[in-house]
Amino acid sequence: MTFNEVNSVLELPFTSGGIDIPKEKLSKQDLYQAIHYELVASSLVTKIAHEINPNCKVGCMVLAMPAYPMTPNPEDVWAAHDYENLNYLFSDVHVRGCYPNYAKRYFEEQGITIDFAEGDEQLLKDYTVDFLSFSYYMSTTQSANPMQYSSGQGNILGGLVNPYLEASDWGWQIDPIGFKSLL
């Protein structure tokens, strides 16, 4: 496994990415560029591992947090959809070997330009992971108007309190059905 919970770099840049700059001083551009470097590094590790031993299996790992809409309002449904897209774009690149169109659109809307070094695109394409793994702690709830609701204090990647779920002592929402939905 190349990187643990690669998608948590956005919220925990030092813990998950070794970025020794306070999160508040990092822009989205900085964070997504750092993640790009991790994705390329993962492809390089996969390449080298397969050269050393063609039977070696190299994988990636993401922090999986399925998102529910706070209400059936189509805007909340879309907010949950967008959240999941951004959360899983890292595994999409690892597994498919390229950035999905929804990520490219998001980057354009946010003014993010990923700097591809010569050969990056080909490395990502040619050396995808052999397996995808995930850790699951909780689900999340999303809304187009999050300020109207209580924040899920223990949710690692953000989100709102789901009024239908109990929480652990850490504030993590207990959701076995969320786990089933991932499978």
pLDDT of residue 168: 86
The average pLDDT across 56-64 equals 94
**Beta partners for residue 141, in sequence order:** 68, 160
Greatest mean pLDDT among 10-14, 73-77, 133-137, 144-148:
73-77
What average pLDDT is seen over the chain?
91
Residue-wise pLDDT for 29-46, tens only, equals 999 999 999 999 999 999
pLDDT of residue 125: 98
pLDDT of residue 13: 75
Site of tokens 């770099």 = 9
pLDDT of residue 167: 87
DSSP character at residue 116:
P
Other CB atoms within a 10 A radius of the CB of residue 86 amount to 17
Which one is predicted more confidently, 88 or 59? 59
SS3 readout for 14-65? HHHHCCCCCHHHCCHHHHHHHHHHHHHHHHHHHHHHHHHCCCCCCEEEEEEC
CA–CA separation, 173 vs 137, rounded Å?
8
Q: Is residue 183 scored above 90 in pLDDT?
A: no
pLDDT band at 80 (very low <50, low <70, confident <90, very high): very high
pTM: 0.88
Please give the helix or strand (H or E) that residue 67 lies within, else none: strand 67-69
Residue-wise pLDDT for 123-166, tens only, equals 999 999 999 999 998 898 999 987 777 666 655 666 888 999 99
What is the rounded end-to-end Cα distance, in angstroms, of the chain? 20
The average pLDDT across 45-52 equals 98
Q: Domain 6-182 - what CATH class? A: alpha beta
| Cα atoms in the Cβ-side hemisphere of radius 13 Å centred on 80 | 18
